[in-house]
Structure 1
Amino acid sequence: MTDERYVQVVPLSRSDLFKKGSVLLGKLDIELTERCNNRCIHCLINQPEDDQNTASREMDTAFIHDLLRQAADLGCMTVRFTGGEPLLRPDFVDLYTAARKLGMFVILFTNARLITPDIASLLSRMPPGKPVEVTVYGMHPASYDAAAGVKGAYDEFKQGVDLLLSYGIHFVVKQALLPQNKAELEEFEAWAATIPGMDKSPGYSMNFDLRARRDDPEKNDRIKKLRLTPDETVAMLTRNPKYVSGMQEFCGKFMQPPGDTLFSCGAGHGVCVDAYGYAQMCLPLRHPDTICDLRQYSLKEVLTNVFPEFRSIKAENPDYLKRCAVCFLKGLCEQCPSKSWMEYGTLDTPVEYLCEVAHAQARYLGMIGEEEHAWEVTDWKERIDRFISVSNETPK
């Protein structure tokens, strides 16, 4: 009789992971490829699916197997496979199976176009342990194909989603909010609510990041035109009836000036690996001063030596020190080194668009006035306390 178990259960008392001084890896993100079968108008990363030069530079199967084994040895319980479109990798089944046999949950980011009966059967027989995450670009062929940049893409997406449903795969959907699908917002949400795995409202991308490799200025100009305005962003956020109460809880915990510390986020506490074998503190952050080659360093060395050094980098840009370093909206603002890198090619240049979005939210929440700049506010603690203490009715 064949033993079909793919996870070995080991009591904590017998594990080396929790010994004093052990290095633990909470989560591993692996960008399996930058290639994609979509050519989405807003995408920050995609390369053509048939780009053989790109494919030839990608990590090979054995290299990724070794990364997975290293991660498992560090106690990693979750790996995220992303791209591009990760299902373009001919070794995807091999890599997925290897991760599950190592006991790791798998988060799969996909457009669902390459979901086949074989893939769906695999996900059913060997469940990922986490919901598959499917990005939706439109509810009809015209809108979907226009946003995805590929004729016939919708039909393949629909077939993939139907397979996930028929095989009982737990999945959730999210959407890139674009001119091509804005009119379908209510239709999308009504459909999303029918999906068994959707226990909350879908997430949206709307303040789109620029290309992470800074290799296409024309594409960046096009992406900027697709971003929602700050007021449109607020309108989308406040559609959620729990927005204000959620922000009260969030602001009470996280909003304060960051000082000259650049990495006040979780970047560098896990490991992200790009398609070519370089470790990054987060996937969009590809600044040459904050990456390292995993052919020269182990994951353990990255976590214990390399990333702590990167996280110690301080802001030096005078504009950042004058504004971002003393701005109490830091918890509300998405300003971070990766955003600065994508926008300007630096680690510490204030991203004007994100600043405007944060200020629009703060004005809606009543924390600053129309003509105020948050970095000039000195009584910010009192303002946060006042905001937290008011009832959950919609601010004026």
Structure 2
Amino acid sequence: MSLYMEAPQKLPDFWLWEERRKKQGLVSFTLELTPRCNNACRHCYINLPAGDGQARERELDFDGIKKIVDEAAELGAMWCLITGGEPLLREDFEDIYLYIKRKGIFVSVFTNATLISEKHVQLFKKYPPRALEITVYGVTEKTYGAVTGKPELFAAFMRGVRLLLDAGVPLSLKTVMIRSNVHEFQEIAAFCRAHSSEPFRFDPFIHLRFDRDEKRNQEIREERLSPEAIVALEHSDSARHDALQKNCEKLVFNEDMDNPEGFLFGCGAGISEFYVNHEGFFMLCASLYGSGLLYDLKNGTIKNALDDFVPKIRAMRTTKTEYMANCGRCRIINLCLWCPAHAFLEMGQLDACVDYFCSVAKERYKKMLL
């Protein structure tokens, strides 16, 4: 029995809601509990083997996580996403989950569902997450195995989904589209729509690894869909295509952007949300990883990170001619994969242009005009 398995409070009883009404600022944060995973997906940017002892030793312990959650709550955070790796590998997952819930914070969980047990089902049924998001890599053992490297876990995945559905736990099902499973797109879409009331989402964009493992990065490049394949996939899904068409005017600027100062960050990274990796490093977003881009919360506070560290990162500029003439002024950049974080993972530079990203954006724009 968890130490935190108590009767849930009613929402009006949570002090956090009153605090949130009084202030603006921090809204959400993500906790990466582990980089370890029982799958071995070819496209993954982080996963290490489930039994990796060194990785386990580097993971924040429960006390370290409580400290971060406490401070985030004090600062007004209302939503936390628990992710990994596979977060259910953590033996203290239940305690972490319930500790966050007891703060009055909405909790979402990303999982591959292969480790779902009756105990997890009862936990999620009694203390429902804001969202329980499961990635569907394939709906046949062959395709699931081609993506994850673990065909033997397909049955566990299906069992986990079924246990949750039978218990009435609402699911959000999504997928990532890569070369190993794109042939099964329609079947995956049908499965997701049949088993979840949430809108079906798919992501055809995968970025390179944090550890810069070149062998693994080459596997990721091999799994990437071509720009033409990405656009054809989006065009084949009426909901996705209609959304792109509807928002065309918002996504595409009428003229080139004006950024003479060369600021790199035009997104909201680090403003109302942040990311904490498994070692306790504060990150502006889930992708911005590298030397000088992390803040160690073991030796500092979230408030200091938000007040001092984030502004320094967001103030970064460039005078690089290639960037200023291309990405820095591109009117279709919202159709692109480009951002400083992804550029750094691809090229080791925050201001690097990436040909693949540019090709995707141009192909998407061309199709939107049809």
Between 1:238-247 and 1:279-288, the stretch displaced more is: 238-247
Q: Distance in 1 between matches of 2:87 and 2:16?
A: 37
Q: Does 1:344 align with 2:347?
A: yes
For residue 340 of structure 1, report the CA deviation from its aligned partner.
0.7
Specify the code of the residue in structure 2 equivalent to 1:140.
T
1:84: how far off?
0.4
* AA at the equivalent of 1:118: K
Report what 1:334 is aligned to. 337
Alignment of 1:178-197 (within 5 A): 178-195=178-195, 197=196
Which of 264, 286, 292 matches 2:266? 264
Q: By how many angstroms is 1:335 displaced?
A: 0.6
Tell me what 1:285 maps to.
Answer: 288
Match of 1:297 among 300, 306, 311: 300
Match of 1:355 among 349, 354, 358: 358
2:16–2:73 CA contact under 8 A, matched in 1 = no
> For structure 1, which segment, 234-243 or 8-17, has the greater mean C-alpha deviation from structure 2 after superposition?
8-17
Question: Which whole-Å CA distance do the structure 1 matches of 2:9 and 2:65 have between them?
Answer: 18
2:208 corresponds to? 210
TM-score between both structures, scaled by the size of structure 1: 0.86
Map residues 217-228 of structure 1 onto 2, 5 A cutoff. Answer: 217-228=214-225
| 8 Å contact from structure 1 (residues 258, 264) kept in 2 | no
2-side partners of 1:13 and 1:126: how far apart?
Answer: 18
Q: CA deviation at 1:109?
A: 0.5
Match in the other structure for 1:199: 198
Q: Secondary structure at the match of 1:193?
A: helix
Query: How far, CA to CA, are the matches of 1:74 and 1:203 in structure 2?
Result: 31
Equivalent position amino acid for 1:335 in 2:
W
Question: What is the one-letter code of the residue matched to 1:224?
Answer: R
Aligned residue in 1 for 2:233: 236
Amino acid at match of 1:176: V
What's the secondary structure of 1:30's corresponding residue? strand
Match of 2:145 in 1: 145
Residue 327 of structure 2, aligned match among 324, 327, 335: 324
Q: Are 2:29 and 1:64 equivalent residues in the alignment?
A: no
Which region of structure 1 is more displaced relative to structure 2, 2-11 or 34-43? 2-11
Paired AA for residue 136 in structure 1: V
Cα separation, 2, equivalents of 1:339 and 1:13: 34
Q: What residue is the counterpart of 1:161 in the other structure? A: 161
Give the 3 Å change call, closer, same or farther, for CA 116–218 of structure 1 in structure 2.
same
- Cα distance in 1 between the residues matched to 2:265 and 2:293: 11
Is 1:90–2:91 an aligned residue pair?
Answer: yes
Displacement of 1:247 in angstroms is 3.1
SS of the residue aligned with 1:282? coil
Q: Which residue does the alignment assign to 1:384?
A: none
What amino acid does structure 1 have at the position aligned with 2:229?
A: E
- Give the equivalent residue in structure 2 for 1:116: 117
CA distance in 1, matches of 2:235, 2:353: 25
**Is there any run of 5+ residues in structure 2 with no aligned partner, and where?**
none
The size of the alignment, in residue pairs, is 360
SS for the counterpart of 1:9 is: helix
1:143-172: per-residue Cα shift (whole Å, max 9, x none)?
212211124110110111011111111111
**Contact 1:23 1:304 survives alignment (8 Å):** no
- Once the two structures are superposed, residues 229-271 of structure 1 have per-residue CA deviations (whole angstroms, 9 ceiling, x without a partner) of 1111111111233556533553433534262221111211211
Contact kept, 8 Å, 1:258 with 1:330, in 2: the verdict is no
AA partner of residue 309 (structure 2): V
The two structures, once aligned, show a CA RMSD in angstroms of 2.1
- Note closer, same or farther for the CA distance 1:65–1:13 as it changes in structure 2 (3 Å cut): closer
- Quote how far apart the aligned CAs of 1:287 are: 2.0
Matches of 1:84 and 1:11 in 2, distance apart?
31
More displaced 10-residue stretch of structure 1: 248-257 or 337-346: 248-257
Distance of 1:189 and 1:167 partners within structure 2: 23
What residue ranges of structure 1 are gaps of 5+ in the alignment?
367-394
Matches within 5 A, 1:97-112: 97-112=98-113
SS at match of 1:350: coil
Q: Which amino acid aligns with 1:268?
A: G
Q: Which has the larger radius of gyration?
A: 1
The CA distance in 2 between the partners of 1:199 and 1:295, in whole Å, is 37
SS of 1:152 mapped into structure 2: helix
Alpha-carbon distance in 2 for matches of 1:151, 1:334 = 30
Say if 1:207 and 1:227, in contact at 8 Å, map to a contact too. Answer: yes
Residue 127 of structure 1: aligned partner: 128
Q: Which amino acid aligns with 2:186?
A: E
State the 1:12 CA deviation: 8.4
The 1:51/1:177 distance shift into structure 2, 3 A limit, reads: same
Per-residue CA deviations over 1:6-50 (Å, capped at 9, x if unaligned) read: 45625889944454xx56321110111000000001111101110
Supply the AA of the counterpart residue of 1:142: K
Q: Distance in 2 between the 1:329 and 1:14 partners?
A: 39
